Structure 1
Amino acid sequence: MNLNGIGAIVTGGASGLGNATAKMLAAQGAKVTIFDLNEEIGVAAAQDIGGLFVKVNVADEASAIAGFDAAEAAHGVARVLVNCAGVAPAARVVAKDGSPHSLDVYRKTIEVNLIGTFNMISKFAARVVAAGLEGEEAGVIVNTASVAAYDGQIGQAAYASSKGGVVGLTLTAARDLAQHRIRVVTIAPGIFLTPMLMGLPQAAQDSLGQQVPHPSRLGKPEEYAQMVGAIVANPMLNGEVIRLDGAIRMAPR
C-alpha cells in the first residue's frame, strides 16, 4: 500500500515503538493520528509529525469509537492501523511471600494488551468495510505481540498470556477480514530500547543487549518501524507473526 495521503492510526504512539512508527508513517506521507493515554507527550508527538493526537483508552469501547470518529473527521477513513499500546507488569504466579498473583493486575493486562488490540481491530475494520474502498487491498493492520508469547520469563504470566493471545488472534483475524481485503500481521519484538529500558543504567542495558545473538544489542524503535513499513508495502504478507528479535530465545529469568 502506498502511504502517501493515507489515513493511519498508531495506538501507543506517544512514545517508544509507537512513536517511531508514527514518525515513519508520517515521513512516507501518511496522515497520522496518535491514540494514547499520555496527553502531555502525545500532543507534542503529534505536533512533531504534523498529525493528530486523541486521548484513547484502547480497552474501552466508547473511548475507541470517539477516537476513530475524531481521526476520521480529520484524515478520512484510516486504512492503516498499528497497535502498539500495551502494559507490562511483572509478578509471579505465587510471590516469594506466598501471596497469589493479583487477579486485578492479570485482568488489566489482558484488557489492555489483548482486548484492547481486538477492540481496535474490529472498530477499524468495520469502518474500512463501510467505506466501500476499491482496489486489491483496503486496509492493513499491524499488531504488536512479544517474544514473551513464546518464551515467557518468570514474572511474566500476565504479559505472556496477553501477547500469546495476540499471536493466536492474528491468523483468525486475517482469515475473517480477507473477504474485505484487509491484511493482518503481527510483530513479536525481542528486547528493544523503549522508555522503560532507557531508565536502566547503561551497564544494565549493555548486559541485556549481550543476550541477543546478533546483533548483540538492544533493538532500536526505528527498526520496529522499518518492519511496519515493510509489512504495509508488501501485499502478500498476511496472517503471519514475525519475530523481530536478533535470534534471541529468552531464558527463564
Structure 2
Amino acid sequence: MKLDNTISAVITGGASGLGAATARRLAAKGVKIAIFDLQEEKGEALAQELGGVFCKVNVTDEASVDAGFAKAREAIGQERILVNCAGTGNAIKTASRSKEDGSIKHFPLDAFNWIIQINLVGTFRCIAKSAAGMMTLDPTEDGDRGAIVNTASVAAEDGQIGQAAYSASKGGVVGMTLPIARDLMNEGIRVNTILPGIFNTPLLQGAPQNVKDALSASVPFPKRLGEPDEYAALATLMIENGYFNGEDVRLDGAIRMAPR
C-alpha cells in the first residue's frame, strides 16, 4: 500500500507509547490519522500536532467503538489502515498461598475477564468493524482495500509468573491473526500481528533506573529496551509491503522471557 494523503488510519491506544509512535510515523508519510484512546488530554494534543482527530473510545464498549469510527470517518474518511495498540495487563498468580498466614486464594475471574475483554475482545471488535468499513472501498492499484496491524506480546509465547490472563489475551490475538487474514483474503484486506518484547513505553519510563538497567541487560542484542519508533517502523512495513499477510512477528532483540 502506497502511503500518502489519500489514506486514512485509525490507531487504537494511539495517545501514547507504541500507538503514538505509529501515528507520528504514518502522519509523516501524509496519512490522515484518527486516534482512539481514553486519555483525552494526550490524545487531543497529539491529534492537533498531527492534524488528525481524537476520538475518546473504550474498546470494551460497542457503542463507544461505533461512535469512534463514525466520528473518525466523518473527519478523515473511511480508514484503509487499522493499528490496534490499545491494551493493558495485570500480574496475579492462578492460585497462591499467603506468606503471612498460609491462606490460599485464586485469581479473581472478573480480573481475568477484564484483561481478555480489553486485549482480545476489544482488538477483535475493532478489527471486525474496521474491516466491514474497508470492504466498502475500491481496491487501490495494488489491490489493497486495507491493512490491519495488531499488537500481541512475547508473553503470548513465553508468559511469566502472574501473566496467565495477559498471556491468554495476547495468545488469542496471535491465534486469530491467520484465520482473520483468511476471512478477509478475497476482500484485499491484510492482517498481521507484532509481538513486542520489552519496550520503553510510559509503563516503564517511570521505573527506577536499576530496574530498567536489569531489563536491558536481559535482552541478548541490542542490550537495551525497544523504542516505540522501532515498533512503528515494523507496523509501517507490514502496511506498505503488499505480500505481508497472516504473519505474527516477534520484535524483541531475541529475548526469551524467564519465569519471573
* TM value normalised by structure 1: 0.98
* 1:172, distance to aligned residue in structure 2 (A): 0.3
Moved over 4 A (4+): none
Instruction: Provide the residue aligned with 1:107 in structure 2.
Output: 113
Instruction: Provide the residue aligned with 1:78 in structure 2.
Output: 79
CA RMSD of aligned residues (A): 0.9
- Partners in 1 of 2:171 and 2:73 — Cα distance? 31
Instruction: Provide the residue aligned with 2:30 in structure 1.
Output: 29
Quick check: which has more Rg, 1 or 2? 2
* 1:134, distance to aligned residue in structure 2 (A): 4.8
**C-alpha distance after superposition, 1:63-112 (max 9, x if no partner):** 11111111110111100000000011111111342211111111010000
| Letter of the 1:2 counterpart | K
SS at structure 2 position matched to 1:204 = helix
- Partners in 1 of 2:217 and 2:74 — Cα distance? 46
Instruction: Provide the residue aligned with 1:124 in structure 2.
Output: 130
Is there any run of 5+ residues in structure 2 with no aligned partner, and where?
99-103
SS at structure 1 position matched to 2:144 = coil
- Partners in 1 of 2:179 and 2:32 — Cα distance? 28
- Partners in 1 of 2:191 and 2:60 — Cα distance? 19
Q: Is the Cα contact below 8 Å between 2:139 and 2:188 reproduced in 1?
A: no
- Partners in 2 of 1:149 and 1:65 — Cα distance? 28
Is there any run of 5+ residues in structure 1 with no aligned partner, and where?
none
Instruction: Provide the residue aligned with 2:62 in structure 1.
Output: 61
* 1:21, distance to aligned residue in structure 2 (A): 0.6
2:222 to 215, 225, 248: 215
Give the length in aligned residue pairs. 253
Instruction: Provide the residue aligned with 2:234 in structure 1.
Output: 227
Cα gap change, 1:193 to 1:96, in 2 (>3 Å): farther
* 1:130, distance to aligned residue in structure 2 (A): 2.2
- Partners in 1 of 2:140 and 2:52 — Cα distance? 25
Q: Is the Cα contact below 8 Å between 2:137 and 2:145 reproduced in 1?
A: no
| Letter of the 1:76 counterpart | G
Instruction: Provide the residue aligned with 1:2 in structure 2.
Output: 2
SS at structure 1 position matched to 2:96 = coil
- Partners in 2 of 1:96 and 1:143 — Cα distance? 36
- Partners in 2 of 1:22 and 1:96 — Cα distance? 44
SS at structure 1 position matched to 2:194 = strand
| Letter of the 2:156 counterpart | A
| Letter of the 1:3 counterpart | L
**C-alpha distance after superposition, 1:19-65 (max 9, x if no partner):** 10111111110000000011121111211211110000112211111
Instruction: Provide the residue aligned with 1:91 in structure 2.
Output: 92
**C-alpha distance after superposition, 1:180-235 (max 9, x if no partner):** 00000000000001111001011110110110000011000010001011111100
Instruction: Provide the residue aligned with 1:186 in structure 2.
Output: 193
- Partners in 2 of 1:234 and 1:117 — Cα distance? 22
Instruction: Provide the residue aligned with 2:184 in structure 1.
Output: 177
* 1:152, distance to aligned residue in structure 2 (A): 0.5
Q: State the identity as a percent.
A: 56
